[in-house]
Structures are given as structure tokens and as C-alpha cells.
Amino acid sequence: HRGWLEVICGSMFSGKTEELIRRLTRARIARQRVEIFKPALDTRYHAQDVVSHNQNSIRSTPVQSPSEILLLAGGATDVVGIDEAQFFDESLVEICKQLADQGTRVIVAGLDMDYLGRPFGPMPALLATAEFVTKVHAVCVCCGELAAYSYRIAASEKQILLGETDSYEARCRPCFLAGESVK
Ligand code: ADP
Ligand code: MG
């Protein structure tokens, strides 16, 4: 079989990890060799597992840099899953290309936008080069419409702030723009 790149993107709480776990579980049922990676800095729920907000989980290998993914996935892997891809540097784009070129199915999940609505890290280039792109949506916690934005409640201006419902909420465009004045 031939390789390709799939990207699952969306805001926080949109179901990216759930969808990634669903696809990887199905690949395992089909007896394919699956490897899952996440950035080592994302230890919010578990050092090793990729865990979704509804507590689904799958064992993963935390890595410091994208080059480790290429080394560890090797040639014997059919499917490579990568969660929280926005936290990796731009070199992830070339690593995913190499894996796909050598015949691996690569499934990447990550935030397409940061808390200010700016394209996040390597995600724009991954979206541009993927054969398949899925954008999933959360529910706006203010009004119940589809949410594409991750609104930061915590007072910090760093692009990377690991957090949960204590630091972020999913919001639609109008409620994201309205900021503190809605709730
Ligand atoms: P992501 O990886 O995109 O952050 P997850 O797959 O970890 O998302 O979690 C999705 C789950 O989060 C949903 O199935 C739901 O149970 C829960 N959830 C909590 N808040 C929201 C919200 N505002 N909108 C949608 N789902 C939410
Ligand atoms: Mg997730």
C-alpha cells in the first residue's frame, strides 16, 4: 500500500484526540502496525498516554523532537499517529512527508489556531500538504453554536500555556470576539 497524510484539526474540546484514537483503533483492528507519538512537553493527563477529554486513551511515546518520530517509527510501521502536533517545530512537516513518501499512513491531530486565532506552529503547512483534512468543531460554551476558537480565560500571553477547562473555553466567532463581555 502507499503512504499519505491525514490532518485532524479544530479548537480545544473539538474532539481531535477522540477522532485520532478512533482511526488508530480501527487500524489496529485491521492488524496494522500502529505507533503513536506526542510532544514530551504535553503531560497534562498522563506521561505516556494520549487521553481525550472524555477519558478515552491510547498508549503513546512522548518525544522531544520530530526527528525521534522518524527513528522510532522506522520502516516496519504501517500507521503513525501524532497528537498535539502544534507543539512541535516546523521540522515536523518534513518528517511527516518522509514517512508518507516511504509508504506510511500518517495521521496528525492538532490545534489549527492558538488562543488569539493565529495559525499554530507547523499546522498550516501540514494542512496544505495533506491528502485528507478534517476540521472538527466544539460547542460554544456561551451560546451553543459550533465553536472554532479556543478562548483563553487565564491571564497569560505565552503562546503555549498547557491547560484545561480552567484556562480555556471553546467559543464561536462572535463570542470569541466579544471576549469578557459574554458569559
Ligand atoms: P480535543 O482533542 O479536540 O481537545 P477531545 O477529543 O479530547 O478534544 O475531547 C472531546 C470531548 O470533550 C467531547 O466528546 C466532550 O465530551 C468534551 N467536551 C468538553 N467541553 C466541550 C465543548 N465545549 N464542546 C464539545 N465537547 C466538549
Ligand atoms: Mg486533544
Terminal alpha carbon distance of the chain:
50
How does the average pLDDT of the chain come out, rounded? 93
pLDDT for the residue 40: 92
pLDDT at 152 over 70: yes
pLDDT at 169 over 70: yes
Which range has the worst mean pLDDT, 55-64, 107-116, 125-134? 55-64
Helix (H/G/I), strand (E/B), else coil: 61: strand
ipTM above 0.85, yes or no: yes
pLDDT, tens digit, 9 for 90 and up, residues 98-114: 999 999 999 999 999 99
- Write the CA distances from 153 to 21, 141, 150, 168, 169, integer angstroms: 28, 12, 9, 5, 7
Cβ pair 32, 158 in contact under 8 A: no
Which helix (H) or strand (E) covers residue 94, if one does? helix 91-101
Distance CA 59, CA 49 (A): 4
pLDDT for the residue 1: 63
Distance CA 60, CA 171 (A): 29
pLDDT for the residue 166: 83
pLDDT for the residue 44: 65
Enter the C-alpha cell of residue 19.
477522532
Binding residues: 10-17, 83-86, 140, 143, 172, 175
Q: Could you tell me the pTM of the whole model?
A: 0.95
Ligand nearest to the CA of 172: 1
Band of pLDDT at residue 56, cut at 50, 70 and 90: confident
Long-range contacts of 25-31 (CB under 8 A, 24+ apart): 25/58, 27/78, 27/79, 27/105
131 assigned to active site: no
Residue ranges per structural domain of the chain: 4-136
Cβ pair 51, 26 in contact under 8 A: no
Band of pLDDT at residue 45, cut at 50, 70 and 90: low
Binding residues for Zn(2+): 140, 143, 172, 175
Catalytic residue among 6, 35, 84, 169: 84
* Domain boundaries 4-136, corresponding CATH code: 3.40.50.300
61-76: average pLDDT: 92
pLDDT for the residue 155: 85
Distance CA 68, CA 70 (A): 5
Ligand nearest to the CA of 139: 1
pLDDT, tens digit, 9 for 90 and up, residues 128-146: 999 999 999 999 999 999 9
Our mutation pick for probing the ligand 1 site, out of 17, 49, 53, 60, counting the most ligand atoms within 8 A of Cβ, is: 53
Band of pLDDT at residue 81, cut at 50, 70 and 90: very high
